[in-house]
Amino acid sequence: MKIVLVLLLLGVGALAEAPSDDEQKKPTAIQDGSAAQSFIRTALYEYLERPPFLAIKAETPFFVKRIYGESRWVALVEFYCGINEQHKALCLTVIIYDPVTNEHRFMTPEDVAKASGDGDSI
């Protein structure tokens, strides 16, 4: 339910913005389906410094969002992380992909809302 609420709040701003045709072309690394899933899993695994247990519960397809005044590809990820399946925490993050540099970074949903001008928090 939490992921649906965040998607609704982030998605409203994304729908209101009309990116140009060049901005709408999704980079190969984050194409919907297995390419995006692999990209997200690898990025998250490395960012968390190779946790013993990592299971992605839900992820959104990448969509264009204006962050700090520039178009970026954004995906919301809900996942479990911990020392094993019995000792895990439920986490939520947003992956921000820059198509110009082909680099990514992680932000909280609240930070994305602030950076995109969608409001103070989600």
Whether 92 maps to a domain, the answer reads: yes
Burial class (CB in 10 A: 0-12, 13-18, 19+), 77: buried
Whether 106 maps to a domain, the answer reads: yes
Domain count across the chain: 1
Whether 121 maps to a domain, the answer reads: no
Query: pLDDT-derived band of residue 2, with 50, 70 and 90 as boundaries?
Result: low
- pLDDT tens digits along 18-64: 444 444 689 999 999 999 999 999 999 999 999 999 999 999 999 99
Handedness of CA 52, 78, 121, 12 (dihedral sign): positive
Range of the domain at 81: 2-116
Model pTM above 0.85? no
Whether 89 maps to a domain, the answer reads: yes
CA dihedral 56, 62, 66, 67 (to 10 degrees): 30
- pLDDT tens digits along 73-106: 999 999 999 999 999 999 999 999 999 999 999 9
Whether 122 maps to a domain, the answer reads: no
